[in-house]
Structure 1
Amino acid sequence: MRKTDGLLKLLGLCVLAGVLVAGVLFPVAGAAGVMSNRASETVDNMSSELANVPPPLVTTVTDSAGAPIATLYKQYRLPTSPEQISPAMKWALVSVEDKRFYEHHGVDWKGTMRAAISNGTGGDTQGASTLTQQYVKNYLINVVNRPKSDSKEDQAEARIGREKAQEQSIARKLKEARIAIQLETKMNKDQILAGYLNVVEFSRQVFGIGAAAKTYFNTTPDKLTVGQAALLAGLVNNPNTFDPWNHPVAAKQRRDTVLQRMVDNNKLAPADAAKAKAEPLGVVPELQKPPANCSGAGPENGFFCQYVEDYLLKNGMTKDDLYTGGYTIKSTMDERANHEAKVSAETQVNKTQPNVANTLSLVKPGQDRHEVVALAANRDYGGDKDKGQTTYALPSGIWNVSGAGSSYKIFTAAAALQNHVLGIYSTMETPSFHVSPVFTGGGPNCPTVSRGTRAYCLSNASDSYGGQMSLQQALATSPNTGFVILEEKTGMGPIVDMASKLGMRDTMAGTISNGGKGDPNSSDPNKMTQSKFFAPTPNSPGQGSFTLGVSPTSGLELGNVAATILSHGKWCPPTPIGGITDRDGKPKQIKEAACEQVVEPALADTLAIGMSKDDQPGGTSAKAAGAAGWNRPIIGKTGTTQVSGSATFVAGTPQLAGAAMVFRPDSPNGGIIDGGPGNISAAKSTNGNMFGGGTPARTWFGAMKNILGDQPIEQLPGSAPQYERAGR
């Protein structure tokens, strides 16, 4: 090379280095001034964000006693303060990544110029980034440009952002350096070091030193040994290459390199380094990272965890906030009650029984809150169907598409009381067969009322009812004809409206086809809401089949109906939330629906007395109550759908209410065979022999007997004269 060529090259490199320094320290003058000012504003905002906005954290869901049951996260990260990080970890990282960390002010000028010169002369772009700069880079990759949703657009935008944050260019280095300099004016060195250690990934989607210490060594950051710290410090350079499980030899070599750097940096004695190098890697046998969703709550608690998530998303939280906010969510789940509910449901129906679900949802009555205490099913919560697992929200969602059967007679009775059609002791007609003069849409055995239209007709389950009885007796014995006649006298509008008032809100807003969200403006019967489908119109009196519970139903909402009645007519949303605190321990409020007095207390209390005979001799659940040794006053109503395809028992005491349901979740067409506890199956033929007084009642009484235990026996409220007999 000629001497002049060498001088020119040296001059060019000096100019390049000078431009780099100027670009870091000062805005560009002239025509680019406005752009530079905007860039400076962006840099300042970004440095403020790094200084003040923490990265995504794990949200913890607990039971009502505060015991953790599940973790929700997108990045497995456990927050760690500077004081909670061992000196060994700090010095291992500094020694291998930035030995002059405590001397520079965010940028190591020698290293930065070397990288710029290498890039400017056609060589590879070299790193030489300080830990502060690496903090900026990792924050941009793992926090700012992480996808906030599962949409393709968001995923694509995040990918582009991450690529820009990692591109090998002087422009990226400039921006990174400027943010680093700003950051060092807002955070001290220990805060920056802890910030970096909280953001960086340690392979296998484990983020931050807190999660890494637990995942790799089942310990905490303050207890990391020199050897453990060296291994983790070595990982951040290339997490996949130095993964100790997949590449133990490379991981050991990298760990030993870090130990030697600590010696070279006068942070570790040679003898101590030699001792640490002789140690095995010491990582746990398998990855310790917990499941990232409600599957971590286990087979019993998973359904409750899922309802917590569904409830929060319904009431204003976003999934990204829920999964990254670092919240502690104290649920209302009573672990013992949930366990007893699970045991009772599974005692009746085996968890692996094909196409039979048995659920129990329990709610605590109250004037200010209706707290959900248990959501259980015979099936386990999880993703392995062969093991009897499912992630369907069986106890809380609208998964029983066959319906709740005669449990819906509660709404007919309540509306009739409200409109003073009759009282609980009034006599009502209960013929063995009834052809409705009001409703149409019956089957081929019903008489024709006009061309192509048949009357609605039906019979009772047996001929043993007699021609008339009181409403209280009818609620206990459940004659079909009497309640259709009551619909004719009351009108479908108040009855359908009563179902929503007392608690079937999502159910009535769903469709009759599959329970999905209905369209109140649709004219398609399969797409409109149940409220619209069953209600009267100017040209129709409505659907008389409503009182027989023929449409998709939520077991939790049905249980909350009983809670509303036992709360003197006060409806409250069935909440699973006991309280929420954010990552700083401050309470977080959510927008829950307000409680409503949906019927007069006198009406609700009288209805409770009307429903108080179901477990007594002659009542539909009397056999199950007797077998359980039941001795408490309850309200109760059983229900069975056509061909015994599903059955329910909704009931409650003043302390606790709920609903048990058995149904076919996978193939709804057909019946269910009740062969006794542990011998329940989906019928191969059309008809079954399942009734609400069978499996559902046995499930409810079996759980409630143990849950209430030796709690005081509380009496039902008294009835009001104006609702005892018609005309008062």
Structure 2
Amino acid sequence: MRMRDGLFKMLGLCLLAGVLVAGILFPVVGAAGVISNEASDTVEDMSAELADDPPPMVTTVTDREGAPIATLYSQYRVPAAPDQISEAMKWALISVEDRRFYEHHGVDWKGTLRAAISNTSGGDTQGASTLTQQYVKNYLINVTYRNDDLGQQRAQEATIARKLKEARVAINLETKMSKEEILAGYLNVVEFSRQIYGVGGAAQAYFGTTPDKLTVAQGALLAGMVNNPVVYDPWNNPEKATERRNFVLDKMVENRKVSEEDAERIKGEPLGVVPDGPEKPAANCVGAGPEHGFFCQYVEDYLLEHGMTEDQLYTGGYTIRTTLDRNANHLAKQSAEEQVGKMEENVANTLSLVKPGKDRHEVVALAANRDYGPDATAGQTEYALPSDVANVTGAGSSYKVFTAAAAMDQGKVGIYDTVQSPSSYVSRVFSGSPEPCPFIAPYTRGYCLTNASEGGSGTMSLQTALQTSPNTAFVILEEQAGMKAVVDMASRLGLRKTMASNAANGGPVDPDAESIQVRQNQKEFFGPSENSPGKGAFTLGVSPTSGLELANVAATIMSGGVWCPPTPIAEITDRDGTPVGLQEEQPCEQAVPEGLANTLAVGMSKDDLPGGTAAAAAADVGWDRPMIGKTGTTQTNGSAAFLGATPQMAGAAMVFRPDLPNGGLYDAGPGNVSAVGGESGNMFGGKTPARTWFGAMTKILEGQEKLPLPPSDPRYERVN
């Protein structure tokens, strides 16, 4: 039986040889129709691909100065040219895998017949594949079909048809590439275990060196591994790896590439790999470290949202120069940690910084008290705390900026006009109260509210209202402007993603979704209209909010009403150094009139002054720059925020509980006390967030000019 099978195999190999010789000259149909014109075209295409297209590469993410912060890859590969690989490495591989490499033309007929005779006579199974053939197979497995399990399986089938095609490609390939190019191509493609591919990456990861410096001992270990990278892993299986290395040394002796004495000496040496596993960077944003990981994560998210696929990002070999300012990011994280320790249970404190401008809004820093990383026990998280739409109660009264802007935009009020701010108020336009209001008829449901202790009562200018933040004044303005206009203004000024993906209801913020009809004595008392639907609490900031987008709101206001996407990208180049653009990145737009934005900025310019909700935080650091600011605190003290800006820098700080029980609802508990920074009751916009913002910005702007705010526009100063 074994002899018969061997004869059939030998017959197949003879047929293979004949078909190959014929197939070099013209397309043929083989034993079972395995080669056709179409297949011949495939051979040509594959040969061209192997000759011209490089394998997956590592993408490098840098800061704005070009210094690397992270690498992204699915295959850790450092490409090496033929003259960048040591002769010891090359001859170790040739000796063990294809000693007649420089003699054959892609297929080793002598080796093929030897293998056939050995297999026929019951000897050890020998594949007789040349390095050129192995290059073809490894390219298919590790490059062409890297994301296709079925394709990888087919590329390794022990069939005459596959061998035939592989051999034809190998012969074709040797007409297009030199032996040195093929050898280097193989060494750049082959796997070495643990996501390490190619000799450049292996030299670094295993020995902390470069491929041109690989010694005989090192080359022998790596050459031996390609046969079975998992089995010969030097850390998991050092004994097997040693046996395999020594086997390669024996083959090098047989091939007269190392003396027997030197080989025996090397056999007595340890493997020499770096301790504790391979020395290679992390394959994702964890490699950016605890400080810069959040920024790297936003870069990745941004690119995936703007037309780049994950496969492109992790295999394209791009260099992505970001807008990250390392110093600003460090100071932002330092300030966040000063206010809330990284091990504070279920409390996140974030700070996002954006540079204003009329042509770009560059993200400068994304920081948090918690470190970026996979170890939750060390206070780490891989959730994009500063940039994503946070699973929190909201940003509080910072949303009053949108109500003020909407009312000003409609000509309902000017920044110096008087607004009503009673101590309590019942809206008969909005819903949202958890139970019937005690101030109106039992069957009538409206929206009841009072002012927080930081608010006022009676009347005041809109500018003073933005400074002192009375709830009633802004719900009344919300009625006048209409919910649609307020929600739209939030989006226009910068909450694009936040308004499009409200985590509270699983879809976009829809001001019509919660319009109401209130009845008294079974008769219609009032109802919704196009201009006044929804919950009145929107202006009090109950919606989950992206801290980065809130920072971009401040940047839009400081840019004369010009909104730009908060971009983390300065420049992208491909593996050849050619610039790459983002096709889906939105252009800047004049979101609101410049006069409106400038006047709104003047209206927000008193929050750091005595009487303002952030005055104490500003005084603590001796703040003396012109700025805009607005604090926000949710009703249950489950979260708080501060947005602010100078002409040079805009930012938003948010403190919240990222892991919420009860399906995302937060109950602060008795007394609504939140232990933050070792002090009770600090989850207020004027405390933790404002202190975080001022603490960082004071140092970041140190030495820079104290620029004035833009002047207000008379058209938006007074209406009445």
Instruction: Decide: shared fold, TM above 0.5.
Output: yes
Change beyond 3 A, Cα 1:548–1:356: same
**Percent identity, aligned pairs only?**
65
Aligned to 1:679: 678
Shift of 1:486: 0.9
Structure 1: runs of 5 or more not aligned: 148-157, 526-534, 682-687
* 1:370-423 superposed Cα distances (whole Å, 9 cap, x missing partner): 111111111111122221111111100011420111100110111111111111
Q: Does 1:301 align with 2:292?
A: yes
Match of 2:460 among 469, 485, 506: 469
Shift in Å, 1:319 = 0.7
Paired letter, 1:543: K
What is the SS of the residue equivalent to 1:440? coil
Q: Which amino acid aligns with 1:553?
A: T
Quote the offset at 1:296 in angstroms. Answer: 1.4
Between stretches 440-449 and 240-249, larger displacement belongs to 440-449
Instruction: Report what 1:163 is aligned to.
Output: 153
Measured after TM superposition, the shift of residue 518 of structure 1 is 3.9
**1:331 partnered with 2:322:** yes
Are residues 1:61 and 2:57 paired? no
1:725 equivalent in alignment to 2:708: no
2:604 to 596, 601, 611: 611
Native 8 Å contact 1:424 1:724 kept in 2: yes
Q: Which moved further from structure 2: 269-278 or 425-434?
A: 269-278
Letter in 1 for 2:289: G
Aligned pair partner of 1:289 in 260, 270, 280 = 280
What's the counterpart of residue 566 of structure 2?
Answer: 574
Q: Distance in 1 between matches of 2:373 and 2:330?
A: 17
The two structures, once aligned, show a CA RMSD in angstroms of: 2.7
Q: Does structure 2 conserve the Cα–Cα contact (< 8 Å) formed by 1:119 and 1:126?
A: yes
Cross-structure match for 2:196: 206
Q: Where do residues 438-477 of structure 1 align in structure 2 (5 Å cutoff)? A: 438-444=429-435, 446-447=437-438, 453-462=444-453, 465-477=456-468
Amino acid at match of 1:621: A
Whether the 8 Å CA contact 2:10–2:116 is kept in 1: the answer is no
- For residues 500 and 42 of structure 1, the distance between their equivalents in structure 2, rounded to whole angstroms, comes to 51
Deviations 1:67-100 (A, max 9, x none): 2111111111112221211121112111221111
1:239 is displaced (CA, Å) by 1.9
Correspondence 1:83-122 to 2 at 5 A: 83-116=83-116
Inter-partner Cα distance in structure 1 for 2:263 and 2:401: 77
Opposite residue 190 of structure 1, the aligned amino acid is E
Query: 1:143 is matched with which residue?
Result: 143
Report deviation, 1:674.
Answer: 5.7
Whether 2:626 is the aligned partner of 1:633: answer yes
Q: What's the CA shift for 1:633?
A: 0.8
> Which residue of 179, 183, 194 maps to 1:193?
183
- In the alignment, the residues of structure 1 paired with residue 52 and residue 511 of structure 2 have an alpha-carbon distance, to the nearest angstrom, of 48
- Measured against aligned partners, the alpha-carbon deviations of 1:501-538 in whole angstroms (never above 9, x if no partner) come to 00001110123526x5549799699xxxxxxxxx9754
* Matches of 1:249 and 1:105, distance apart in 2: 36
Counterpart-to-counterpart distance in 2, 1:117 and 1:500: 76
- State yes or no: 1:23 paired with 2:24: no
Task: Tell me, in whole angstroms, the C-alpha distance in 2 between the residues paired with 1:119 and 1:36.
Answer: 30
Q: Sort the Cα spacing of 1:539 and 1:301 in 2 relative to 1 into closer, same or farther, 3 A.
A: closer
Counterpart pick for 2:207 among 192, 214, 217:
217
**What amino acid sits opposite 1:308 in the alignment?**
V
Which deviates further from its counterpart, 240-249 or 73-82? 240-249
Q: CA separation of 1:258/1:370 partners in 2, compared to 1, >3 Å: closer, same or farther?
A: same
* Cα distance between partner residues in 1 of 2:30 and 2:291: 68
1:507-522 residue pairs with structure 2 within 5 A? 507-511=498-502, 513=504, 516-518=506-508
CA distance in 2, matches of 1:482, 1:544: 12
Question: Are 2:393 and 2:638, in contact at CA under 8 Å, matched by a contact in 1?
Answer: yes
* Aligned 8 A contact 1:565 1:604 in 2: yes
Contact 1:570 1:599 in 2 (8 A): yes
Q: 1:425·1:725 contact (CA, 8 Å) conserved in 2?
A: yes
Deviation readout 1:583-605 (Å, 9 max, x if unpaired): 11211111311111111111111
**TM-score, structure 2 length as denominator?**
0.91
1:274, 1:689 → 2: CA distance?
70
Deviations 1:195-243 (A, max 9, x none): 1001111123311101100111001111111211121111112223322
State the Cα distance separating 1:118 from its structure 2 match. Answer: 5.8
SS in 2 for 1:133: helix
Preserved contact between residue 484 and residue 511 of structure 2 (Cα < 8 Å): no
Verify the 8 A CA contact 1:509 1:518 in the aligned structure 2. Answer: yes
Q: Aligned equivalents of 2:433 and 2:349: distance in 1?
A: 31
Distance 2:214 2:193 in 1: 18
Q: Distance in 2 between matches of 1:696 and 1:395?
A: 13
Deviation (angstroms), 1:330? 1.1
**In the alignment, which residue of structure 2 is the partner of 1:71?**
71
1:451 Cα offset (Å): 7.6
The answer for the alignment partner of 2:382 in structure 1 is 391
What residue is the counterpart of 2:647 in the other structure?
A: 654
Letter in 2 for 1:21: A
1:278-315, CA deviations, whole angstroms, 9 ceiling, x for partnerless residues? 43321111221322111111111111111111111111
Q: 1:661 to 1:176 in 2, by over 3 A?
A: same
Q: 1:586 is matched by which residue type in structure 2? A: T
Which residue identity is paired with 1:569?
A: G
Q: CA deviation at 1:39?
A: 1.4
Contact 1:403–1:550 under 8 Å retained in 2:
yes
Q: Deviations over 1:417-436 (max 9, x none)?
A: 11111111111111111122
Equivalent pair of 2:12/2:160 in contact (CA under 8 Å): no
Taking a change above 3 Å as real, the CA distance of residues 325 and 14 of structure 1, as seen in their structure-2 partners, is: closer
Confirm or deny that 1:564 pairs with 2:556.
yes
Of 206-215 and 48-57, deviating more is 48-57
User: Any conservation in 1 of the 2:62–2:319 contact (CA below 8 Å)?
Assistant: yes
Residue 398 of structure 2 corresponds to which residue in structure 1?
A: 407
Greater alpha carbon shift after TM alignment, 50-59 vs 692-701: 50-59
Judge conservation of contact 1:448–1:455 (CA < 8 Å) in 2: no
Give the superposition deviation at 1:670: 2.3
CA distance in 2, matches of 1:629, 1:364: 23
- Quote the Cα distance in structure 1 between the aligned partners of 2:509 and 2:123: 63
Partner Cα distance (1:455, 1:517) in 2: 25
Aligned counterparts, 1:173-572, within 5 A: 173-287=163-277, 288-444=279-435, 446-447=437-438, 453-462=444-453, 465-511=456-502, 513=504, 516-518=506-508, 538=530, 541-572=533-564
- Cα deviations across residues 38-63 of structure 1 (Å, max 9, x unaligned)? 21111111111111121111111111
